[in-house]
């Protein structure tokens, strides 16, 4: 099946009793056994649930993985992956990753004895230079949040495979979704998502997931997911599975609007710089054309006059809601300096290139002409 067909049909046809066209929601915590040795595949919803399993089957198919484990939030998906490591292990990550990921790495897991190097991963030599004998993973976020820098996935996978020690590669694919990018096809070992975002797409659920490329990793992920109790609820799984059915057409609408908005912003006198891989001026435009099937619905831009002007723009839009999340059908606008990346230190934000001028936009599926007109009047104001 092609991608859009998988979105609609994988994990759905589960009701042999009444032939429901949608996947049933199994809101039970407990399943009874047929005997002391046998049950029908489920015993307790923390360990597994038919609705959650259906959603996991769907996402694993879309990401070309062997298995998926769904979690309660995107951050719990990252937490799940981090439990694959032990004190003394070293992980390489980008210096411009999502603020919540940076906080979890720098403030939480460093206290557990795991070491991190935050580097500019757009230059593969920085990744190579950061390698140590203790390096166990390379964390890829591409495009990065919020500056839309790209990482050459194949190059990073090669660095990991050429290393003298066993190193796994992990990619946060939230910004692109599997509709536009499938890191496992390039050899990445683990893919994570905040399913809150594009996979669900309707701003009415929080969740995450971890997809594995190999059975060995899948078993380890499943074990820790059950042990830590990180699984998402059946209703949340149903909402995400429902949202995925329209992932293809939604992503097309998102990126159509994002391209129109980016082109207007690039020529506006109040805008200093636009961060969108779909623009020919973006430094990673050619790489985006190579490893992505489109340019996505996320963009950022710098307002020339700094914080006060950026604030006026964000507060004067009519269609862009001032909110931190992304990937929903409605357009959102936010200020990384005090919102999505406030958990990073000032020094870390500046090193990553995030300034008081930076504004991040999640382009929804509204009419692109309406979005462009609204942003233009906000800038003009």
Catalytic residues: 46, 98, 172, 197
| Cα separations in angstroms, 364 against 93, 150, 234, 300, 321 | 29, 22, 27, 14, 10
CA dist 131 and 135 (Å) reads: 6
- Measured over the CA atoms of residue 279, residue 316, residue 247 and residue 173, the dihedral's sign is positive
User: Which 8-state DSSP code applies to residue 108?
Assistant: I
| Per-residue tokens: 114 | 């795991």
Q: Which residue has the tokens 């998906």?
A: 77
| Cα separations in angstroms, 44 against 57, 99, 231, 347 | 19, 34, 11, 46
Element housing 137 (H / E): strand 135-141
| Cα separations in angstroms, 341 against 72, 102, 285 | 21, 9, 25
Residues 6+ apart with CB under 8 A from 224: 80, 83, 84, 230
CA dist 157 and 347 (Å) reads: 29
């Amino acid at each position: 099946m092609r991608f859009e067909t998988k979105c609609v049909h994988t994990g759905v046809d589960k009701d042999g009793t009444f032939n429901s066209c949608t996947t049933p929601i199994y809101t039970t915590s407990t399943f009874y056994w047929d005997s002391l040795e046998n049950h029908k595949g489920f015993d307790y919803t923390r360990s597994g649930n038919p609705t959650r399993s259906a959603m996991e089957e769907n996402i694993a198919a879309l990401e070309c993985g062997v298995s998926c484990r769904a979690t309660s939030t995107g951050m719990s998906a990252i937490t799940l992956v981090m439990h694959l490591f032990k004190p003394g292990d070293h992980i390489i990550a980008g210096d411009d990753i999502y603020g919540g990921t940076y906080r979890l790495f720098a403030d939480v897991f460093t206290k557990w004895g795991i070491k991190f190097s935050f580097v500019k991963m757009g230059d593969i030599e920085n990744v190579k230079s950061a390698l140590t004998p203790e390096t166990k993973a390379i964390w890829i976020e591409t495009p990065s949040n919020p500056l839309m820098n790209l990482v050459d996935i194949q190059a990073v996978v090669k660095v990991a495979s050429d290393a003298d020690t066993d190193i796994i590669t992990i990619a946060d694919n939230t910004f692109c979704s599997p509709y536009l990018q499938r890191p496992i096809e390039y050899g990445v070992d683990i893919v994570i998502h905040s399913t809150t975002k594009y996979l669900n797409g309707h701003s009415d659920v929080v969740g995450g997931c971890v997809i594995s490329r190999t059975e060995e990793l899948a078993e380890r992920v499943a074990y820790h997911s059950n042990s830590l109790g990180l699984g998402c609820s059946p209703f949340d799984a149903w909402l995400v599975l429902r949202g995925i059915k329209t992932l293809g057409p939604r992503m097309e609408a998102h990126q159509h609007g994002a391209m129109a908005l980016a082109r207007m912003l690039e020529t506006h006198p109040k805008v200093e710089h636009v961060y969108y891989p779909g623009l020919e001026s973006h430094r990673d435009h050619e790489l985006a054309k190579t490893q992505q099937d489109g340019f996505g619905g996320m963009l950022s831009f710098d307002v020339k006059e700094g914080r006060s002007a950026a604030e006026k723009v964000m507060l004067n839009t009519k269609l862009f809601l001032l909110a931190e999340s992304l990937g929903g059908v409605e357009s959102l606008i936010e200020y990384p300096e005090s919102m999505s990346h406030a958990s990073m230190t000032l020094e870390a934000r500046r090193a990553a290139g995030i300034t008081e001028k930076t504004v991040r936009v999640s382009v929804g599926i509204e009419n692109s002409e309406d979005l462009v007109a609204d942003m233009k009047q906000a800038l003009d104001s």
